[in-house]
Amino acid sequence: MLLAVVVVDLIGFAIVVPILPFYAVQYGAGGLEVGAIVASFALFQFAFGPVWGRLSDRVGRRPVLLATIAGNTVALAALGFADSLATILAARVLAGAFSGNVGVATAYITDVTADEDRPRWMGLIGLSFAIGFTLGPAIGGVASKAGYAAPMFVAAALSAVNLVQAWMRLPESPEHARRAGDAAPALSRIDALRQPGVALLTSTNFAFAFAVTQLETVFQLYMLDRFGWDAFAVSMILFGMAIVMGGVQGGAIRTLSARFGERTLIRTGAVVLAAGFVATPAAPTVVWLLVPLGLAAVGRALLQPSLMTLASFRTAEHTRGAVMGTYQSAAALARVVGPLVAGHAYDVARPAPFAIAAAATAVVFALATSLPAPPLEDVAHPDAGV
């Protein structure tokens, strides 16, 4: 049930993201304004993500998940009713404040899985992203034919259904229920970063998310300006990328992790992702563009669950929510800075965000050389060369 909750939440997010730039443009937004709207969501996600994580350590995963789903439902409905850039901004701020689901869900999974099963379950979280970003853009693209507000209402309705299902069927984490009487103090963001290996993993996650946001922020504008594609057509491109990611994360990641180890997958993913970023603005036609976008999808599919797996091994029982919330908040911070950089860079030179993304991915590769191994990696992958 937990994975279903995450999938539906991500479908709603993925419905909105491809449509949002077009929605904002109809109210006069340019590249910088679109970047600011995207960044506002991430700023409040960064601020509140660790708060939700710490709260889940104290009161349980279930009530926090229910609260964030409820807040997200209200925010999506408000976005549908928006009639100006200011109201779009306000709705995205509210959505960001209640977007703590993934960090709390990751802590929940860490509560209930053995170390040897962790890569598989983190791959399933990655698969949840792929499913969400497969179905979401397709649903949003179809709904956008009825106007750009329609996808927002569809996302709000899905979130409301998700809330009801989670309320009825999602139990508390057994591990958290077992230690419900513990009085361990909540771990602050600074204390979480002081845990062994967490700061380096969090920095790597920041660089990865910063790179990805360059593409996410300007891709719709790029396709509109260069090829004249509308929201539906762009959504179909994103649909295809998500299918590629799902194939890697749902089928191959566990085998690859067992054979090569997470750190090798992170470095390999960084190289493949950087190649995709560099080649994207050089593609002369949409058909040729599918090649670098496919590379970017494969690289992201290798990187994301592998990083998350390593982070999950850095948590103690009473600090899982705080540590995973802090780890996820690094991506949120990148989504504050990244869209602003991407939007401004795009206004200066259309290929610039892709070059910035490639440079950030090179940083991921460099940091990955020092990432800590999970406890089982040196035993499970003696020939992995990591």
**What band does 55 get if pLDDT is binned at 50, 70 and 90?**
confident
Digit-coded pLDDT (tens) for 74-94 = 999 999 999 999 999 999 999
Q: Which of these, 316, 306, 317, lies nearest to 374 by C-alpha position?
A: 306
CATH number of 145's domain: 1.20.1250.20
Residues whose CB is less than 8 angstroms from the CB of residue 374 and which lie 6 or more positions away in sequence, other chains included = 115, 118, 262, 309, 310, 313
**Domain residue limits at 195:** 2-170+188-375
Q: Is 141 domain-assigned? A: yes
Q: Is 139 domain-assigned? A: yes
**What band does 186 get if pLDDT is binned at 50, 70 and 90?**
low
Asked if residue 177 has pLDDT above 60, the reply is no
Q: Phi/psi class of residue 306: alpha, beta or left (left: φ > 0; alpha: ψ in -120 to 50)?
A: alpha
Q: Is 177 domain-assigned? A: no
**What band does 185 get if pLDDT is binned at 50, 70 and 90?**
low
**Mean pLDDT across the stretch 348-371?**
92
Q: Which of 230-244, 248-262, 367-381 has the lowest mean pLDDT?
A: 367-381
Q: Is 68 domain-assigned? A: yes
Helical ranges in 60-178 per DSSP H: 61-80, 85-97, 101-112, 118-143, 150-169, 174-178
pLDDT at 382: 36
Compute, in degrees rounded to 10, the torsion defined by CA atoms 38, 247, 7, 24: 20
pLDDT at 157: 97
Digit-coded pLDDT (tens) for 106-138 = 778 777 777 667 667 777 777 777 788 778 888
Q: Is 36 domain-assigned? A: yes
Q: Is 386 domain-assigned? A: no
Asked if residue 194 has pLDDT above 70, the reply is no
Q: How far apart are CA 334 and CA 168, in angstroms?
A: 35
Q: Is 385 domain-assigned? A: no
Q: What pTM, to 2 d.p., does this model score?
A: 0.71
Q: State how many domains the chain has.
A: 1
Q: Is 175 domain-assigned? A: no
Q: How far apart are CA 48 and CA 186, in angstroms?
A: 14
Digit-coded pLDDT (tens) for 12-53 = 998 998 889 889 988 888 777 887 887 788 889 888 888 888
DSSP 113: -
